[in-house]
């Protein structure tokens, strides 16, 4: 979790409430748009490249979470949405519509040129993958934060 972003969001809300006496705010969590998976390529040695299209201009955007399962349904609707593998892109304040390249590799090698993020995971050929967008959820009552996930993307079969 990016602590600087959490404290910035918390400070902004508190300033709005205390200093400017804002009364028009929502307690409903923002819904992030799910990404669209375009393709997956096997690069050899348990290394895969996933091409993704996404648009998440909200400041609470954090990154993406990858899910893998034996069936399409389980990849899109896992029993626990916290059990995926994250790719955090919090350094980008505003993410405009863009095509991302994600590298999925269990090794600690540096990113290949042009890759937006490396996901440290092992994919199994024949399994299904899906992704969800991660958004920052801040609870002002107890000063905690967590990730809120979007609806699932489409699925692809790992080659």
Q: What is the pLDDT of residue 1?
A: 46
Q: Is residue 82 part of a domain?
A: yes
Q: Is residue 3 part of a domain?
A: no
Q: What is the pTM of this model?
A: 0.77
Of residues 134 and 5, the one with the higher pLDDT is: 134
Q: Is residue 18 part of a domain?
A: no
Q: Is residue 1 part of a domain?
A: no
Q: Is residue 93 part of a domain?
A: yes
Q: Is residue 63 part of a domain?
A: yes
Domain count, the chain: 1
Per residue in 66-77, pLDDT (tens digit) is 999 999 999 999
Q: What is the pLDDT of residue 158?
A: 97
Q: Is residue 57 part of a domain?
A: yes
Contact by Cβ (8 Å): 68, 128: yes
Q: What CATH number is given to the structural domain containing 77? A: 2.60.40
Query: What stretches of the chain adopt beta strand conformation (E)?
Result: 36-44, 47-56, 61-69, 85-88, 95-104, 117-119, 128-139, 144-149, 156-157
What is the domain extent for residue 106? 28-157
Q: Is residue 78 part of a domain?
A: yes
Per residue in 52-67, pLDDT (tens digit) is 998 876 667 888 999 9
Assess whether pLDDT exceeds 90 at residue 12. no
Instruction: Name the residue with tokens 């959820």.
Output: 137
Q: What is the pLDDT of residue 79?
A: 94
Q: How confident is the model at residue 90 (pLDDT cuts 50, 70, 90)?
A: low
């Amino acid at each position: 979790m990016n602590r600087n972003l959490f404290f910035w969001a918390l400070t902004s809300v508190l300033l709005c409430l205390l200093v400017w006496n804002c009364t028009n705010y929502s307690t409903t969590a923002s819904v992030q748009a799910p990404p669209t998976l375009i393709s997956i390529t096997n690069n050899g040695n348990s290394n895969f490249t996933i091409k993704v299209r996404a648009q998440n201009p909200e400041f609470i955007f954090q990154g993406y979470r990858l899910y893998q399962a034996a069936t399409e349904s389980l990849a899109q609707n896992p029993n626990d949405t916290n059990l995926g593998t994250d790719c955090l892109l919090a350094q980008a304040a505003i993410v405009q519509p863009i095509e991302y390249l994600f590298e999925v590799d269990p090794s600690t090698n540096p990113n290949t040129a042009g890759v937006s993020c490396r996901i440290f995971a092992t994919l199994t050929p024949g399994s299904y993958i899906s992704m969800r967008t991660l958004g920052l959820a801040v609870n002002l009552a107890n000063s905690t934060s967590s990730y809120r996930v979007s609806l699932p993307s489409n699925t692809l079969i790992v080659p």
